[in-house]
Amino acid sequence: MHNRPAPCLPAMLRGRRIFIVEDEALVALVVGYGLVDAGAEVVGPAASVGEALELINRAQHEGRLDAAVLDINLQGLAVSPEADRLASLDVPFVFSTGYGENCDRGAHPAALVLAKPFGPHALVAAVEGLVAGR
């Protein structure tokens, strides 16, 4: 993530490790840049269920995850296994989706939903809310 103009957001997430699960490469890039611009260290992105679970397990051994942004549908599969695993590790997450706020959140009906398309300010505000007080 190099050759970018100066960040447009204050570094509100400095020192936070944020995991991205997104199967659309362009969306993953935009989300990653938005988080990096806010000072976060990005883990991922993971584009499939298997890759996401592998990165979660690896991150457990390499350091903490402070929060995650999960695309609710990965190549036609629900992101439920990742959400369940993150919840078991007490890692807060936000679902990102084009299905709207009334989408099926599986076992996590109280999870925040970030409706696509969203801008960097909405993304950072959502993630800030997840890590506040942690």
Whether the pLDDT of residue 91 is over 50: the answer is yes
> Residues of the chain with pLDDT > 70: what percent?
84
Q: At what angle do helices 80-88 and 49-62 cross, to 10 degrees?
A: 20
Whether the pLDDT of residue 134 is over 80: the answer is no
Give pLDDT, residue 124.
95
More confident residue, 120 or 10: 120
Give pLDDT, residue 6.
46
Measuring CA to CA, how many Å separate 42 from each of 7, 35, 36, 38, 100? Answer: 15, 7, 7, 11, 25
97 forms beta bridges with: 115
Which domains can be identified in the chain, with CATH numbers?
17-131 (3.40.50.2300)
Give pLDDT, residue 2.
45
> Apex CA 122: angle with CA 62 and CA 32, to 5°?
35
Give pLDDT, residue 27.
94
Report d(CA 92, CA 76) in Å as an integer.
Answer: 23
